[in-house]
Amino acid sequence: MSDGALSQDEIDSLLAGLDPSAGGSPSSKAAASGASANDLKAFGAIMAALADTHAQTVSMMTGKDASFSSPKVDGTTRDGMLPSLPDEVLAIKVDMVGGIPGDHLFLVPKDASIKIASLANQDETLSELDDMAISVVSECISSLTGSAINAFTEKSGNRSIQSDVADGAFGPKAIARFPAGDFVRVSYEFTVDGSPYRMWEIYSMGFVKDIVAASGMQAPQATQQMSAPGGMAGGQGGVPMGGQMQMGGLQMGGQMPMGGMQMGGQMGYQQPMYQQPMMAPQGMYQSPIMGQPNVQPVQFANLGLGNPGQESGNIGLIMDVFMELTVELGRTKKLIKDILGIGEGTIIELDKLAGEPVDILVNHKLIAKGEVVVIDENFGVRVTEIVSPMERMADLS
């Protein structure tokens, strides 16, 4: 009869996220089948395009120059992953939820985590990953995940993809909660303030396959072509000129029809005469073939910092909305035992020097700095500096 103690095999199974009573099979769900080379290549192209965005995010969080090399994307398992990790890692789980759910986490070595946290908190003495440091790195990882979600949304067209709240834990690498079965590993090499580091991003195999399928990024099928006499691509028996196929009366490739044959615009022939094509509502081009619209993807302009003095849209609709404006004299950090010891007459030293400008915040976000003045019998503040857009973005991140 068992005394209730776990055997070493059962402990290892629990650390691996497996159900010991099932003989080592995944306890949550069956492992997804491995992704093909084309799937990994397509997903790798999405992640490679995020290198510059990730570098800007880390640079904004730390206030130092950062750079990311193009990541390496491959498929692996827990047993294949563990040997490449240091003995201790900060594992930050940020699962994907909503439109395309899936397991997702970052694995950040201790030295890289301390570097990011120390620069973000401007604390050069930081040497251990306490709760505050883990929270700072988790916030940075949340921003990186947000950039990835934007890319996934753009590629797949699924606007319901979201991420769960980041949950960070530092400890031995064996406690990291990897997805069951095969998963996709994204390996990053990056620098912060001139120091090189590595970290890894993990996606469940099912999520990657769903993103690639929704993005339509599988390898294209070979195009059937025919050769006409004289070295020109042509068509016989109704096959359109230029190597394009006509199926079901619909023209493929967008070339102009001529007498039941399709001729490319670079064949040296005179272009056929057509009536001016009709314009569909809202400027959409209306194809002359069976009235089918030629749908074009919407091109959105990049979001810029813009001029805060310029109003866009009908901003007058929100002019009567109240917002909380506060003036902050300074801040400090105290241990719980020191806070409990505060009483009448206790002097608390703040992080601001005498005469230094105070912070002006709107809804707890820094927008300006100023100096304290007295208006009749009340305190006031005179604005002396408007915070630059870059500083405001850094405060929002």
pLDDT in tens, 167-214: 999 999 988 899 989 999 999 999 999 999 999 999 999 999 999 999
pLDDT tens profile 326-350: 999 888 998 998 888 898 889 998 8
Taking alpha carbons only, the member of 44, 27, 26 closest to residue 35 is 44
Query: Bigger pLDDT: 273 or 26?
Result: 273
- Strongest mean pLDDT among 26-30, 125-129, 234-238, 274-278: 125-129
16 confidence band (pLDDT: 50, 70, 90): very low
State the pairing for strand pair 325-328/96-98: unpaired
Predicted local confidence at residue 29, as pLDDT: 37
Most distant CA atoms of the chain, gap in Å: 101
Q: DSSP per residue over 28-81, as a string? A: SSPPPPPPPHHHHHHHHHHHHTTHHHHHHHHHHHHSS-EEEPPPEEEEE-HHHH
Query: Would the pLDDT of 18 be above 90?
Result: no
Rounded to whole angstroms, the Cα distance separating 254 from 338 reads 75
Query: Bigger pLDDT: 40 or 397?
Result: 40
Over pLDDT 90: what percentage of the chain? 42
Predicted local confidence at residue 395, as pLDDT: 65
Taking alpha carbons only, the member of 160, 46, 28, 141 closest to residue 97 is 160
Predicted local confidence at residue 252, as pLDDT: 45
299 confidence band (pLDDT: 50, 70, 90): low
Predicted local confidence at residue 364, as pLDDT: 83
Mean pLDDT of the chain: 76
Predicted local confidence at residue 351, as pLDDT: 86
Tokens representing 181 are 């079965």
Least confident of 152-161, 251-260, 337-346: 251-260
What's the mean pLDDT in 251-256? 45
What's the mean pLDDT in 212-221? 70
Query: Would the pLDDT of 235 be above 70?
Result: no
Query: Would the pLDDT of 52 be above 90?
Result: yes
- Residue spans of the domains in the chain: they are 8-215, 321-341+349-396
Q: Which CATH number fits domain 8-215: 3.90.1170.50, 3.40.1550.10, 3.40.50.300, 3.30.9.10?
A: 3.40.1550.10
Query: Would the pLDDT of 55 be above 50?
Result: yes
Taking alpha carbons only, the member of 160, 151, 170 closest to residue 113 is 170
Rounded to whole angstroms, the Cα distance separating 251 from 255 reads 7
Query: Would the pLDDT of 94 be above 90?
Result: yes
Class of domain 321-341+349-396: mainly beta
Predicted local confidence at residue 396, as pLDDT: 62
Tokens representing 198 are 């590595």
What's the mean pLDDT in 103-120? 95
Classify the phi-psi angles of 80: left when phi > 0, otherwise alpha if psi is within -120 to 50, otherwise beta: alpha
377 confidence band (pLDDT: 50, 70, 90): confident
pLDDT tens profile 65-75: 999 999 999 99
- Strongest mean pLDDT among 4-18, 213-227, 237-251, 361-375: 361-375
Burial code of 14-49, b = ≥16 C-beta within 10 A, e = fewer?
A: eebbbebeeeeeeeeeebbebbeeebbebbbebbbe
238 confidence band (pLDDT: 50, 70, 90): very low
- Listed in sequence order, the residues at least 6 apart from 221 whose beta carbon sits closer than 8 Å to its beta carbon are none
Give the CA dihedral 18, 20, 24, 25, nearest 10 degrees.
Answer: -60
Rounded to whole angstroms, the Cα distance separating 175 from 281 reads 58
Say which residue the tokens 């003495």 belong to: 125
What's the mean pLDDT in 234-258? 44
320 confidence band (pLDDT: 50, 70, 90): confident
Residue 82 DSSP SS3? helix
Instruction: Check: CB of residue 33 under 8 Å from CB of residue 205.
Output: yes
